[in-house]
Amino acid sequence: MPTHRFTPTRYHTTIGSHEPVLRIADGDTVVTTTVDAGGGNEHGERITPPGNPMTGPFFVEGAEPGDALAVTIDRLTPARNSGYTWSVVAPNVVDPDFLRALPEARRTDWTIDRTAGTVALAEPPPRLRGLVLPLAPMIGCFGVAPPGGQAISTATSGEHGGNMDYRGFSPGTTAIFPVFVPGALFHLGDGHAIQGDGEIVGTGVETAFEMAVTVRLQKAAGARWPRGEDAEAIFTVGNARPLDQALQHATTEMLRWLAADHDLDATAASHLLGQAVRYDIGNVFDPAYTVVCRIDKRWLA
């Protein structure tokens, strides 16, 4: 299958029915670059306004509303040896009456060692001098054009994907998006060198990337929310506030998927999920929060 090397010249901070930058086919691989959340490139220069600027969109030949677009994350390579975070947990993840105890957040630099595969604070406070975290790259924001002519801010997420900030969107994982418009119009960007659950400081370690992804079409797939698969599990993604509602979307989507593709009716699926489901919290920072519902593939054999 062909591999397209694409260098973006403009970026979008909404996901919508923008002019495609490239037409690709089922099975194709795209290798492209992405800027960091603040619009910074591989040299750390701001080349586009901030707010999770997206590379794309890519038009996938043959994609029609009702299909799903499976995007396998082949490789995520940081494009520079630095990244940044915010320095304090976000106001919405602590008790309201605890907030006064927190200092103001400021941008903080991190060092990315691509050879060693590590991430560390550039100027750690004494207590954190030994803290060296593993490089664990992931895509913060990606997805397809939403229905009805909407152009949805890359600050948030929805049924079309978007700014889900789930650390499980890492190399080897396949993300599956419901297609709402002809060609799907796939956007991607906002790579993180590492990120904890919930993106609770409002960032992962934000940096520019070279990303390689391979797209495959699933005809009439029945997906209403993003889905995915990795080495251990299949998963579904719900995006909403509060977390309760995100969890409802993800769980409902999993029940639909298990019924349609795994021959598990609501009772059988309940027996399985009730005793074996796992939930991950993608983000609890963005306008829509993200909850991921996972079931280990060994229970589906």
Q: How far is the CB of 101 from a second copy (least distance, A)?
A: 6
Binders of a second copy among residues 210 to 249 (CB under 8 A) are: 240-245, 247-249
Q: Does 162 interact with a second copy (rule: CB under 8 A)?
A: no
Q: How far is the CB of 13 from a second copy (least distance, A)?
A: 6
Chain centre to alpha carbon of residue 214: 15
Q: Does 270 interact with a second copy (rule: CB under 8 A)?
A: yes
Q: How far is the CB of 214 from a second copy (least distance, A)?
A: 28
Binders of a second copy among residues 113 to 132 (CB under 8 A) are: 119, 121, 124-125, 127-128, 130-131
Q: How far is the CB of 49 from a second copy (least distance, A)?
A: 9
In 3D space, the residue among 237, 277, 213 whose CA is nearest the CA of residue 24 turns out to be 213
Residues whose CB is less than 8 angstroms from the CB of residue 243 and which lie 6 or more positions away in sequence, other chains included = 281, 284, 289, 291
The answer to whether 15 touches 54, Cβ cutoff 8 Å, is: yes
Compute the distance between CA of residue 4 and CA of residue 25 in angstroms, rounded to an integer.
10
* Exposed e or buried b per residue across 167-179, where buried means at least 16 C-beta atoms within 10 angstroms of its C-beta: bbbbbebbbbbbb
The answer to whether 213 touches 71, Cβ cutoff 8 Å, is: yes
Q: How far is the CB of 38 from a second copy (least distance, A)?
A: 15
Sole binder of a second copy in the list 87, 111, 118, 170 (CB under 8 A): 87
Using CB under 8 A as the binding criterion, the count of chain residues that bind a second copy stands at 86
Binding mask 13-52 for a second copy (x = CB under 8 A): xx-x----------------------------------x-
Q: Does 205 interact with a second copy (rule: CB under 8 A)?
A: yes
CA–CA–CA angle 46, 159, 23 (5° rounding): 60
The answer to whether 184 touches 177, Cβ cutoff 8 Å, is: yes
Chain centre to alpha carbon of residue 114: 21
The H or E element spanning position 162 is strand 161-163
Q: Which stretch binds a second copy (CB under 8 A): 12-20, 24-32, 61-69, 180-188?
A: 12-20
In 3D space, the residue among 152, 174, 171 whose CA is nearest the CA of residue 239 turns out to be 152
Q: Does 187 interact with a second copy (rule: CB under 8 A)?
A: no
Q: Which stretch binds a second copy (CB under 8 A): 37-45, 60-68, 175-183, 203-211?
A: 203-211
The answer to whether 39 touches 12, Cβ cutoff 8 Å, is: no
Sole binder of a second copy in the list 24, 175, 194, 237 (CB under 8 A): 194
Sole binder of a second copy in the list 7, 19, 101, 115 (CB under 8 A): 101
Q: In terms of CB distance, is 6 or 279 closer to a second copy?
A: 279
Q: Which amino acid is at 25?
A: A
Q: Does 1 interact with a second copy (rule: CB under 8 A)?
A: no
Compute the distance between CA of residue 265 and CA of residue 221 in angstroms, rounded to an integer.
18
Sole binder of a second copy in the list 71, 90, 112, 141 (CB under 8 A): 90
